[in-house]
Amino acid sequence: MTEREIKKSVRTLSPIDAYMLLPRTNCKKCGEPNCMAFAAKLVNREVLVDACSPLLEKEYEDKYNKLKELLAPPIKEVTIGTGENAVKIGGKLVMYRHEFTYHNPVALAFDVTDEMPSRSKFEGEEALLDRIKKIEGFSYEYIGRNLKLDMIAIRSTSNDPTTFKSAVGTVVEATQMPLILCSLDPNVMEAGLVAASGRRPLIYAATKDNWKEMADLALMYDCPLAVFAPNDIVFLRSLARTLIEYGVKDLVLDPGTFSDDGLSDTVNNFTIIRRSACREGDALFGFPLIGTPITSWLNGEESKNILAWKETIAAATLISRYADVLIMHSLYGWSQLPTAILKFNIYTDPRKPVSVDPGLYSFGKPDDMSPLMLTTNYALTYFTVESDLKKFGGNYYLIVADTEGISVESAVAGRYLTAEKIAEAVKNSGIAEKIKHKHLIVPGMAARLSGETEDELKSAGLSGWHVMVGPRDSSGIAKFLEEKWPPKEEE
Amino acid sequence: MGEEEKRDKEAATKLAELLGLLDLKGKGEITLEDVELQVSELILQSSSLAPTMLKGIKPKVALAPPKVKPSTILEAPFKPSAQEYPGQVRELTLGATKGEGGSRGKTVTVGGATSPAFYLFEKAPTHPPVIAVDVFDMEVRLPKAIKEHVEEVWNDTAAWAKMVVDKWGADVVSVHLLSTDPLIKDAKAREAAKTIENVLQAVDVPLIIGGCGDPKKDAAVFTKVAEVAEGERVLLSSVTLDMGDAGVLDDVAKTAAKYGQPVLAFTALDLNRAKELNRKLYDHVPQENVLMDLTTAALGYGLEYSFTIHERARLAALMGDSELQHPVLAGTTNAWAAREAFLKLGPEWEPREIRGPLWETITALTLLLAGVDVFMMMHPDAIRTMKKLVDVFMRRGEAKPEKIASWVNARI
């Protein structure tokens, strides 16, 4: 194998490439009408190779392997942890998300150290178990999803095998989250690996000084291995080659994360590595990348808020520039929330439409006196309102106006949502035949359209309708209805 | 599928079938090419294969040499390859000095990209991205975190503009003529022009003229402002396809061209429409005078759409799509539309006075990496961070490996 074996990129992979390696019997066992249809789904990553059961038979072994190779992503998928608590990183098929979609959202890991007391002995002392609880307990409701953190990184600040072993033991008992063990000393690492046996942690890290011992540990304990060569990607690549030749299969690459003035080098290193793997089929760089925004905290003289701010900047930079796993320190809600949401955003499938279908939507079991609200058909706007309404419970009608997939504020400013459009949407929804009241609640962001809308409704044949100005944010709907619904007769 | 295409496909299939057969025939014989053995690097260990080979049985398959664990680092030489891009983004200058027919003390030139954003390993960026700071011509509803920084000046647009230049280091001031909105105050075009004249007096940086969004009213306001600010190269923000529908686009474009003002072409997350609008503008406006606004959605509320449309636009421009070879502007102040930027969310998420500006910063930073050239921003902390980041991303070679070499055991 040459070092830079060029793989066919996802964009140029055609169904025919996959079809040639299928049994071509059109047996329909996979549920598709024929092998060509199955092949199309294969290259579109909508089905797995193993769904073709005949291909698993001995006679097709060769083709099966070739097909697997054909469909292998340029960035190897690496599993950390075991069973249902495992996290998969890497497995990326493309460099830019618009070329296909990004697989395996970047895993967010947070650090604990082996010198933390299990429980705090005095006021304000941060204890290991409290911190784990905090990492596990992070949770944010966002458009109907529950955003969580992913992993725990245990750092040995003691450099003492016994201390590390004991801390890892405590963590293993306290949580099922996947782990990263961090020490550059092989003796310390082995002590940790013993305590985490069966958990398949990521070993952090092999360096120019310890690579052989760390490689032995990775092989002996069957764990993925991070490779650390700060700001030296040429050496990182040599180290990767050496470790692969040594027999280690699952690598995670770390060219170093430098906050502040070094952030530019960091971005360039990550970009060079990812491009070499995705564009040139560079197998030695075809591994997940690990970023360590936690290094922002090495500037100890600055305030904690400033350090956490810088850490978030480094994390956000690496979320859009190719990191597959990040190790961070700050657990402030204000600093973690943007990271968690940016991760969710960047890993949203870009093939998903920006808008939802306009029309009349019902929540709960609305009757003829249920509140009638209006929003726009921008997907994010709709899902935010939907998730809030579901959270409150209760029965509502919601008219989704066609604003060509633009949010309320922008739609009002850009005239995608006008009084005329609102009146038209109300009329077309047929809601007038379903309810007895004549009250329409419009978003607070569209307040300035309210007067004109009443006139437009009248011209559209809906006389006597009232427009109520709702809250600016749908999180305020429950409170709004409590105060204003049902509307007073004279209103 | 056309007949010809179908025949091609069939031929391809047949050929592939044939190749498949040949492949089967040749099975078992693998020729190794380009394999170089560096014997000095190998330490031979006893291998299970060795006895077989010693017995002199010629294996049917030419096997790769037995795996031997390396004991020293195996070098893997590497030089990042620089891609060549046939296209280049046009350069655009905002503002004009006295010698150039305006009255600005400073001008800014943006665009000119010849590779993706901050690919310093390929090429140094032509011009650094710049920050335009938003001011309004009337009191507006602002999030608490911003309000406390502008309260003292928000009844005086010129004073507001002066503050953001003097205190916050605005490269450009973006004046939003909100009062001209027929649904708000319906201020006359000539009043708006007066405001702009005052701001031009108060600051010496270039200006962006923000309309209210009503196509006809904006056309009237832009016409008047373009005239009083003749030669100043103020950016008219924005011209839209809606102006085309309202029958005023050509007039606005002609006016902009007549008075030498650049225009901001706004479209909603749709590159085909962006190209369509640009083509319409080319009829009247010099191509070097067009900046694009492809729509900025907030972190958490569609930032991924904005991120991707900017990545796509920039790559297409570099690959030679002339209609997209324009610098781009992002209204990152939109970040404040996200509830996570301004709402109280509960004790574990506070203080929102930090969360808000961080929200704006991350929104801007994400688009900075996608290639945006001009940012409209509002919060002083977000502005300061972005200016620092632009400065950082323009240079390389500042990483200090020794500083992070032992982060693993650092007590922090």
Average pLDDT, chain B: 88
Q: Which residue of A has its CA nearest to B27?
A: A62
Judging contacts by C-beta atoms under 8 Å, the chain A residues touching residue B297 are: 380, 407
- pLDDT tens-digit readout, B112-161: 999 999 999 999 999 999 999 999 999 998 999 999 999 999 899 999 99
Q: Do A246 and B70 touch (CB under 8 A)?
A: yes
A142 and A247, same domain (yes or no): yes
- pLDDT tens-digit readout, A104-155: 999 999 999 999 998 888 887 889 999 999 999 999 988 878 999 999 999 9
A104 and A38, same domain (yes or no): no
> How many domains are there within chain B?
1
A297 and A407, same domain (yes or no): no
A329 and A413, same domain (yes or no): no
The pTM (predicted TM-score) of the whole model is 0.86
Distance CA A442, CA A463 (A): 17
Nearest to B409 among A155, A261, A406 (CB): A155
Distances (CA, A) of A181 to A219, B208, B402: 15, 52, 21
The pLDDT of residue A101 is 86
The pLDDT of residue A8 is 53
For residue A442, the cross-strand partners are: A469
Q: Residue A11: pLDDT above 60?
A: no
Q: Residue A181: pLDDT above 60?
A: yes
Q: Tell which of A313, A346, A379 closes a domain.
A: A346
- Residue A4 within any structural domain of the chain: no
The pLDDT of residue A173 is 96
- Residue B273 within any structural domain of the chain: yes
Q: Residue A1: pLDDT above 90?
A: no
A35 and A122, same domain (yes or no): no
Domain CATH number, residue A322: 3.20.20.20
Q: Residue B391: pLDDT above 80?
A: yes
Domain CATH number, residue A368: 3.40.50.11600
Residue A14 — pLDDT band, cuts 50, 70, 90? confident
A268 touches chain B (CB under 8 A): yes
DSSP at B328:
B
- pLDDT tens-digit readout, B295-305: 999 999 889 99
A296 and A388, same domain (yes or no): no
> How many domains are there within chain A?
3
The pLDDT of residue B1 is 45
What is the mean predicted confidence (pLDDT) over A171-193?
98
What is the mean predicted confidence (pLDDT) over A422-432?
94
B299 versus B68: the higher-pLDDT residue is B299
The pLDDT of residue A4 is 38
- Residue A5 within any structural domain of the chain: no
Residue B289 — pLDDT band, cuts 50, 70, 90? very high
Judging contacts by C-beta atoms under 8 Å, the chain B residues touching residue A313 are: 361-362, 365, 385, 389
A208 touches chain B (CB under 8 A): yes
A247 touches chain B (CB under 8 A): yes
- Residue B41 within any structural domain of the chain: no
A35 and A92, same domain (yes or no): no
A413 touches chain B (CB under 8 A): yes
Q: Do A16 and B9 touch (CB under 8 A)?
A: yes
Q: Do B401 and A232 touch (CB under 8 A)?
A: yes
Q: Residue B80: pLDDT above 70?
A: yes
- pLDDT tens-digit readout, A331-379: 999 999 999 999 999 999 887 777 889 999 999 999 999 999 999 998 8
The pLDDT of residue B68 is 84
Specify the length of chain B in residues. Answer: 412
The pLDDT of residue A3 is 35
A263 touches chain B (CB under 8 A): yes
The pLDDT of residue B54 is 38
Q: Residue B64: pLDDT above 60?
A: no
Q: Residue A187: pLDDT above 70?
A: yes
Distance CA A157, CA A114 (A): 6
Query: Residue A285 in contact with residue A240, Cβ under 8 Å?
Result: yes
Q: Which residue of A has its CA nearest to B24?
A: A62
Q: Cα distance from B21 to chain A (closest Cα, Å)?
A: 11
Question: Residue B128 sits in which domain range?
Answer: 91-393
**What count of CB pairs under 8 Å joins A to B?**
260
Q: Residue A26: pLDDT above 50?
A: yes
A11 touches chain B (CB under 8 A): no
- pLDDT tens-digit readout, A369-407: 999 999 999 888 898 899 889 888 889 999 999 998 888
Average pLDDT, chain A: 92
Residue B333 — pLDDT band, cuts 50, 70, 90? very high
- Residue B281 within any structural domain of the chain: yes
Judging contacts by C-beta atoms under 8 Å, the chain B residues touching residue A97 are: 304, 307-308, 311
A341 and A403, same domain (yes or no): no
Q: Please identify among residues 109-138 of chain A the ones whose CB lies closer than 8 Å to any CB of chain B.
A: 113, 115
Judging contacts by C-beta atoms under 8 Å, the chain A residues touching residue B334 are: 409-410
A221 and A265, same domain (yes or no): yes
Reduce the secondary structure of chain A to three states and give it as a string: CCCCCCCCCCCCCCHHHHHCCCCCCCCCCCCCCCHHHHHHHHHCCCCCHHHCHHHHCHHHHHHHHHHHHHHCCCCCEEEECCHHHCEEEECCCCCCHHHCCCCCCCEEEEEEECCCCCCCCCCCCCCHHHHHHHHHHCCEEECCEEECCCEEEEECCCCCHHHHHHHHHHHHHHCCCCEEEECCCHHHHHHHHHHCCCCCCEEEEECCCCHHHHHHHHHHHCCCEEEECCCCHHHHHHHHHHHHHHCCCCEEEECCCCCHHHHHHHHHHHHHHHHHHHHHCCHHHCCCEEECHHHHHHCCCCCHHHHHHHHHHHHHHHHHCCCCEEEECCCCHHHHHHHHHHHHHHCCCCCCCCECCCEEEEECCCCCCCCEEEEECEHHHHHHHHHHHHHHCCCEEEEEECCCCCCHHHHHHCCCCCHHHHHHHHHHHCHHHCCCCCEEEECHHHHHHHHHHHHHHHHCCCCCCEEEECCCCHHHHHHHHHHHCCCCCCC
Nearest to A256 among B76, B77, B399 (CB): B399
- Residue A2 within any structural domain of the chain: no
**Could you tell me what percent of chain B has a pLDDT over 70?**
84
Q: Do B345 and A333 touch (CB under 8 A)?
A: yes
Residue B268 — pLDDT band, cuts 50, 70, 90? confident
Residue B261 — pLDDT band, cuts 50, 70, 90? very high
Q: Do B398 and A265 touch (CB under 8 A)?
A: yes
Distance CA B342, CA B353 (A): 8
Q: Cα distance from B387 to chain A (closest Cα, Å)?
A: 12
The pLDDT of residue B27 is 39
- Residue B401 within any structural domain of the chain: no
- Residue B78 within any structural domain of the chain: no
Q: Cα distance from A195 to chain B (closest Cα, Å)?
A: 19
A192 touches chain B (CB under 8 A): no
Q: Which pair of tokens denotes residue A246?
A: 């040594």
- Residue A205 within any structural domain of the chain: yes
Q: Cα distance from A218 to chain B (closest Cα, Å)?
A: 14
Q: Do A16 and B303 touch (CB under 8 A)?
A: no
A190 and A160, same domain (yes or no): yes
Q: Do A268 and B119 touch (CB under 8 A)?
A: yes
Q: Cα distance from A333 to chain B (closest Cα, Å)?
A: 4
Residue A12 — pLDDT band, cuts 50, 70, 90? low
Q: Cα distance from B55 to chain A (closest Cα, Å)?
A: 27
Judging contacts by C-beta atoms under 8 Å, the chain A residues touching residue B340 are: 337-338, 341
A144 and A261, same domain (yes or no): yes
A247 alpha-carbon distance from chain centroid: 31
- Residue B80 within any structural domain of the chain: no
Question: Residue A470 sits in which domain range?
Answer: 359-484
Q: Residue B270: pLDDT above 70?
A: yes
Q: Which residue of A has its CA nearest to B41?
A: A242
Q: Tell which of A71, A90, A113 closes a domain.
A: A71
First-residue to last-residue Cα distance in chain A = 79
A15 versus B94: the higher-pLDDT residue is B94
Domain CATH number, residue B331: 3.20.20.20
Q: Residue B28: pLDDT above 50?
A: no
Collect all residues with Cβ–Cβ distance below 8 Å to B187 and sequence separation of at least 6. Answer: B137, B177, B179, B180
- Residue A7 within any structural domain of the chain: no
Q: Do B304 and A239 touch (CB under 8 A)?
A: no
Q: Which residue of A has its CA nearest to B390?
A: A264
Q: Residue B36: pLDDT above 60?
A: no
What is the mean predicted confidence (pLDDT) over A263-280?
95
Q: Residue A6: pLDDT above 50?
A: no
The pLDDT of residue B11 is 53
Judging contacts by C-beta atoms under 8 Å, the chain B residues touching residue A342 are: 299, 303, 362, 366
A375 and A445, same domain (yes or no): yes
Q: Please identify among residues 66-95 of chain A the ones whose CB lies closer than 8 Å to any CB of chain B.
A: none
Q: Cα distance from B311 to chain A (closest Cα, Å)?
A: 8
Judging contacts by C-beta atoms under 8 Å, the chain A residues touching residue B366 are: 316, 320, 342
Distance CA A104, CA A90 (A): 6
Judging contacts by C-beta atoms under 8 Å, the chain B residues touching residue A263 are: 389, 392-393
What values do phi and psi take at B122, rounded to 5?
-100, -60
- Residue A246 within any structural domain of the chain: yes
For residue A146, the cross-strand partners are: A141
Specify the length of chain A in residues. Answer: 491
Domain CATH number, residue A33: 1.10.15.40
A256 touches chain B (CB under 8 A): yes
Nearest to A316 among B343, B365, B406 (CB): B365
Q: Tell which of A303, A324, A346 closes a domain.
A: A346
**Could you tell me what percent of chain A has a pLDDT over 90?**
76
Query: Residue A381 in contact with residue A371, Cβ under 8 Å?
Result: no
- Residue A1 within any structural domain of the chain: no
First-residue to last-residue Cα distance in chain B = 64
Residue B29 — pLDDT band, cuts 50, 70, 90? very low
Q: Which residue of B has its CA nearest to A327?
A: B408
Distances (CA, A) of A284 to A73, A273, A274, A288: 13, 9, 11, 11
Residue B34 — pLDDT band, cuts 50, 70, 90? very low
Judging contacts by C-beta atoms under 8 Å, the chain B residues touching residue A238 are: 73-76
